[in-house]
Amino acid sequence: MKVLVTGAAGYLGWAVVHEFLAAGDEVVALVHDADAAFPPAVEKRAADLLDAGSLTAAMENVAGVCHLAALTRVRISAEQPTRYYRANVGGTIGILDAMAAESRRSGNAGRIVLASTGQVYGAPARQPISEAADVRFINPYAASKVACEQLLGWQAAAGKVGATTLRIFNAAGAAAGRGDQDLTRIIPKAVAVAAGSAAQVDVNGDGTAVRDFVSVEDVARAFVLALRASEQGEHAIYNLGATPASVRDVIGAVERVSGRSVHVQHRPAHAAEAPALTADTSRIRAALGWRPVSSGLDDLVRGQWSAAVQVTSPAP
């Protein structure tokens, strides 16, 4: 299958590209930057998600799409809601329109898997969270992702695509030598402190808040399984999580794996912060046979640590 990956140069995109290559698929990386580096087998196509002409050209002969490109910073979305809706919802409309144009040309309905987020649930009292839980518009980022999910659902109901949404809780670790560069997230930040490239980890409250982590490699495998299983006219929604862990747990794992201490600065707790957010993944396990295989907390930290040490080591 020829698979187009939007956001291919990003953290998750890098893992998804490598997973589809390993599965024997032809991979098209949709990029803004023509200088972005990929393995030689990857075809690069340049397009703007908000430019219909470039997207239609980029979609030629593509049978499946993994749509990862999005703006994802929650706090910034609260300050710039129109920007987030324009990029996330507008970009998804562009992808679906380009897929429809390619379907008319080829006579075949395409398949699409959307990267969504566990943020769409807000902070429900019942844990772990199943896909049956209500979605909550707690910030513009989450709301924009809900809108994207709904678009996929309507497009599938019209018979134009086979669609799957993956609600990812907290992707972490490394894939193909690349770790997470986003220091707003706890694992890369704690690892950066241990590596000496950041001063401290700021912790709101006592560090007992629990979040659900899943390796970026396990997430990438889910994209392969989901794209293969997508059927015209249907829209499936699955949670992706694997390892619940507190902030304290993460810091302890970083210190254990790195053999170094992590300086922590405690700050007042946020009243709205949920004590735990964990994913019920029974649906994707039953439907697609997905299982996390590299999502143990020490495995996640070890991958991030190895990637960080590679980056910070001086050249010989």
Catalytic residues: 141
Calculate ∠ Cα 84-88-91, nearest 5°. Answer: 130
Retrieve residue 233's tokens. Answer: 């006219």
Asked if 204 and 268 count as a contact pair (C-beta separation under 8 A), the reply is yes
Q: What single-letter amino acid sits at 19?
A: E
Contact 240, 284 (CB under 8 A): yes
Q: Between vectors from CA 167 to CA 164 and to CA 173, what angle results, nearest 5°?
A: 115
d(CA 38, CA 295): 25
CA neighbor of 114 nearest in space, from 55, 169, 166: 166
* DSSP label at residue 132: T
Residue with tokens 């007992």, as numbered in its chain? 208
CA–CA dist 316, 311 (Å, integer): 13
For the four alpha carbons of 148, 219, 289 and 238, in that order, the dihedral sign comes to negative
Say how far apart CA 132 and CA 276 lie, in whole Å. Answer: 18
DSSP state of 175: B
- List the beta bridge partners of residue 194: none
Q: What is the dihedral of CA 59, 176, 291, 152, to 10 degrees?
A: -20
Q: How far apart are the first and last CA of the chain?
A: 41
